[in-house]
Amino acid sequence: MFEEISPKTNKSLLKNSFIALSVIGSLCFAAYFISSANSSATPVDFQYNLELEEFRSFVSRYNKNYKTEEEYYQRLRIFRDNLSYIRVFNSQGQTWYMGINQFSDLTHEEFSTAHKKKVSVPERSMSNEKPVAAASNLQIPSQVDWTTKGCVTPVQNEGDCGSPYAFSAVGAIESAWCIAGHQLVQLSVQEIIDCSGPFGNDGCNGGWMTNTYNFVIKNGITSQQIYPTTGNQGKCNTAKEKQVVATISGYANVTANNATALETAIAIGPVAVAVDAIEAGWRNYKGGIISSNCGHSIDHAVLAVGYNLNNSPPYYKCKNSWGADWGEAGYVRISIAAGAGTCGIQIDSSYPIV
């Protein structure tokens, strides 16, 4: 009967569909009533069943394996807490929204323990900082996006190995190498995890982007194909390490707490940026432009691949290393603000020089 609908039949259509909807509605109500008659169901149960359904699809989508029934119900409880947190947040009309992702069954403590201090910020002496842009009247484009220029590799997932410093610095090297005229090639994050200990990094327990550049300045870096990601820290494979695929000659720190300085650096190429990603904002981020729910205490690193000053609010676009399913296909947009910047993005950033 619905196939016959045409715009001309307005009045009778409305009437017919009203009847149809009422019939369907009563059927649903009856079905719901019958199915729940034995358990004296209330609207609260109905809501619970919907959330249980959502939890089941979450469990299968992210291959969650809970060892006991007790854990299953504990995870369900956390998931439902987060679900209602997400709903309340999304009803507030912010510049961004939250959603379900691989972290939705974790408590705040679990998430922050796993992600805390995965970058270890060295002391930085501000006195010998040099501004990236020598000319103060340098005109930068109002919009930059390196992902549209074929010089950014696909989003990866660090999993349980706390190595965002390596993903962000290696991502910056991949892009710089490509922008310098070489082929875009995925470089080995695993080599950094396994081999850069003597340069101050600590494998899956954290490290720092400039330590990574220093390692690559000295040793070069091989490809992901030759020295692939394992998800764990292993012994340095020196035979693979010797098969150098890309090199850099140096790196630059971007002047801290200055949006113009970071934009200017991004206009040259992708920049490794340190951020505060412990708070609920990042954990639940699904899309839009983050402008709240994070602080300024650095605990994570991502790769800034662009910015847009024409948008309201203006934003940086960053590639994260939490898989392509997180955020906007693995990316996050962060509003541009003065000083330390949203989530501290302007506090400590750097880029390699080929």
Residues found near ligand NAG in the complex (CB under 6 A): 78, 81-82, 85, 107-108, 122, 124, 131-133, 136, 210, 253, 255, 258, 260-261, 264, 280, 283-284, 348
Output the smallest distance, CB 114 to ligand NAG, in A: 13
Output the smallest distance, CB 125 to ligand NAG, in A: 7
CA–CA gap between residue 114 and residue 51 (Å, rounded): 26
* Residue closer to ligand NAG, measured from CB, 152 or 272: 272
* Residue closer to ligand NAG, measured from CB, 153 or 255: 255
Output the smallest distance, CB 107 to ligand NAG, in A: 4
* Residue closer to ligand NAG, measured from CB, 289 or 294: 294
* Residue closer to ligand NAG, measured from CB, 222 or 264: 264
Output the smallest distance, CB 97 to ligand NAG, in A: 13
Output the smallest distance, CB 328 to ligand NAG, in A: 18
CA–CA gap between residue 27 and residue 11 (Å, rounded): 24
Output the smallest distance, CB 258 to ligand NAG, in A: 4
* Residue closer to ligand NAG, measured from CB, 223 or 293: 293
* Residue closer to ligand NAG, measured from CB, 208 or 227: 208
Question: For residue 89, which amino acid is it?
Answer: F
